[in-house]
Amino acid sequence: MPRSTEILEEQVSAFPPRLSQNDALELYRSSEYNDLLYVANERRRKLLPGNTVTYLVDRNINYTNVCTINCHFCSFYRPPGHSETYTQSFIQISDRISELEEIGGTRILMQGGVNPDLGLDWYVELLSNLRERHPSIALDCFSPIEIEGIARVAGISTMDVLSKLADAGLHGLPGGGAEMLVDDVRKGVSPLKGSSENWIQVMREAQILGLVTSATNVIGLGETIAQRVQHLDRIRMLQDETMQSGNRGFTSFISWPVMLENNSLGRGNRGSNQFTLGANAIEYLRHVAISRLYLDNILHIQASWPTMGMDVAQMALFAGADDAGSTMMEENVVSASGTSKTEASIDELRTMITTAGFVPVQRDSEYNMISQIATPSNQ
């Protein structure tokens, strides 16, 4: 019997052993595709009994496109002084949140660039202003790399920055900027971005403070399969550490392939990496399935419709994912890289879920259930 088959059989047992990095590599290289997805789906059903799939009604707000990091895969940012830079006013941001409230949304995901012209006081005042105007909306804002940038401008530690932002109303820290938590890969595509340990440390501090956090992963950056597994292992180790300390860990994990159409990676700038760029749908679904099995301490796995499309995201619900993602309502970073669809209506997400045979349930950013529609007729 092939070793990959033995590993999958162990994973569907009553008490499956924890996958090692070598086990995950074997599944990547040798497991039969349908068997892998089946086992990942069974694991999801054991962890989350029932037939529901969650979704979130939220809005992405990219408050500034000024950035000094120059990631090769990003087509959204503009360097300081560029004619196309912008920074939204507090009123502009608030108006966008009001539009979200009108459709029953509960969370904003606000991220931008590392803007050296914005000091800590600007961020504190922004959050305080939004918290006062929109008390029912969860403010999940600023990726770890943005927190690092704010700390550099302010001349204080990232923990001090997070503490001040949390006091001002910050609810959660998005998982953006992780990409690939392997420094050889990071240096090839984002030479000015902080190390993988920096990202881990900022997330560790956010979790100590009780902020809601999520973990992310971008594949197709020229990494090897072993490096993908290393990324998963870094996430799992931090989750172990956080849970053992009694702090709130990552609520969820989401991965997606890099979008290549409109960025310098797609135009041939591969940095120091010589491996194939990009990842197709099958490769993405295998990664989702292995993530479900390897990240045994993270309950929720999210599908990525903005990069993969609704059909592939629907397939991810049979590869271990239990969440269909969010409406997003507005998105500029991914769309700048070439994806054709960056906003989904509530009806579109519900239809995607129900036609797959699941029951859609609206959630908030902490995965508390908000509402449910009728069970699909084929159930």
CB contact set of 50 (below 8 Å; sequence gap of 6+): 359
Q: Does the structure show a pLDDT above 80 at 46?
A: yes
- Determine the Cα–Cα distance for residues 375 and 108; give it in Å rounded to an integer: 28
Beta bridge partner(s), residue 221: 277
Taking Cα atoms as reference points, which of 212, 205, 209, 210 lies closest to residue 172?
A: 212
Q: Does the structure show a pLDDT above 80 at 75?
A: no
Record the pTM: 0.90
* Burial (CB count <10 Å: 0-12, 13-18, 19+), residue 115: buried
Tell which phi-psi region holds residue 220, choosing left (phi > 0), alpha (psi between -120 and 50) or beta: left
Name residue 230's amino acid. Answer: Q
| Domain covering 3-372: architecture | Alpha-Beta Barrel (3.20)
Query: What is the reported pLDDT for 294?
Result: 98
Strands of the sheet with 300-302, listed across from one edge:
58-61, 107-110, 138-141, 172-173, 212-219, 250-257, 300-302, 323-326, 52-56, 359-363, 369-372
Query: What is the reported pLDDT for 375?
Result: 42
Give yes or no for a contact between 40 and 28, defined as CB atoms under 8 angstroms apart: no
Domain boundaries of the chain, sorted by first residue: 3-372
Residue pLDDT, tens place only, 94-150: 999 999 999 999 999 999 878 888 999 999 999 999 999 999 999 999 999 999 999
Residue 5: phi and psi, rounded to 5, are: -65, -40
Query: What is the reported pLDDT for 100?
Result: 95
Give yes or no for a contact between 8 and 36, defined as CB atoms under 8 angstroms apart: yes
